[in-house]
Amino acid sequence: MNDVAVYPLPGNELLARSLADAIDSPLQRLSVHHFPDGEQLVSLEGPLSAKSVVLVCSLHRPDAKILPLVFAADTARDLGASNVILVAPYLCYLRQDARFHPGESVSAYCFGRLLSAHIDGLVTMEPHLHRLPSLSAVYSVPVRSPHGVAATAEWISANVRDPLIVGPDDESKAWVTQIAERIGVPCVVAHKTREADRRVSVKLHVPPAYAKRTAVVVDDILSSGQTMLGTIGALVHHGFGNPVCIAVHGLFEGVSVDDLISAGASRVLTCNTVPHASNAIDVTPALADAVRDLLESLPAPL
């Protein structure tokens, strides 16, 4: 795609290079200079005139990334880009999608309006929607949100013998069912009760017929790790020692791979939506398909 240029925000170079190769577009340099007073200057390698610009920025720990991202999007337009697409494999600020107490901001909508004002389209992977029917409820630009089902199922099929797919909570049921159906294996779903931000209890029933299978726990986000730890504990209690643990987005806020291994996991791996040593499942093909589809849907520049 000669009319497309891919730019990684700092820390996103590996995925951006893979994405650029997948869509046959050049990877160009984006630099961020920090002044002594903390202000930032963004520079984009050109030329950009009449090009579609794809900015790659995974938005974990987002607050320090937002201003450079906004500056990059606006600079691309100033330099003649026909449109600006954000590829944010992990998308932040979806937790607070309602006002639970008087005076609280509804940050999902605030952030959606902020980003929508500076980009022409958004691609993200497995957004963690709670009460929102879709991302279009908070983003006013075209959105594509591919799933990690195919890549995850492919990895499990190639690496785990006789797997039993385990969902850690009711929200995971549809997702783990799709993975299990793709590879023709059974699945079970645990029931989770969150007692506090960092305390959960997990109950799990596993039919005796699955006793000799290898448990594979699959979740969309691994953050505090309490859900995954609780699920590992429930599996070990049922005789499923050494389960494999998979998460799409590995944030690892308050838990480490070593913690999960110590709890009984045999292996912990994530998709490459958030850079981490546990990245083992490549979702670049799904992101690339979404970028192509989004670019083809946008109006041609005048």
Using one digit for the tens of pLDDT, what is the confidence trace for 37-58?
999 999 999 899 999 999 999 9
SS3 110: helix
Mean pLDDT of the chain: 93
CATH assignment of 4-145+283-297, given 1.10.3720.10, 3.40.190.290, 3.30.70.2700, 3.40.50.2020? Answer: 3.40.50.2020
**Tens of pLDDT, residues 61-93:** 999 999 999 999 999 999 999 999 999 999 999
CATH class of 148-271: alpha beta
C-alpha radius of gyration, the chain, whole number: 20
Is the backbone peptide bond immediately before 301 cis, with ω within 30 degrees of 0?
no
Rounded to 10 degrees, the C-alpha dihedral 212/213/214/215 comes to -110
DSSP assignment of 59-105: -SS-HHHHHHHHHHHHHHHHTT-SEEEEE-SS----S--S--STT--
Structure tokens at 206: 């596993």
The mean per-residue pLDDT over the stretch 88-106 comes to 90
Range list for CATH 3.40.50.2020 in the chain: 4-145+283-297, 148-271
Task: State the pLDDT at residue 195.
Answer: 64
Q: pLDDT value at position 198?
A: 61
Helices (runs of H) and strands (runs of E) counted in the chain: 8, 15
pLDDT bin (cut points 50, 70, 90) of residue 202 is confident
Task: Flag whether pLDDT at 197 surpasses 90.
Answer: no
- Provide the percentage of residues in the chain whose pLDDT is more than 70: 96
d(CA 66, CA 110): 13
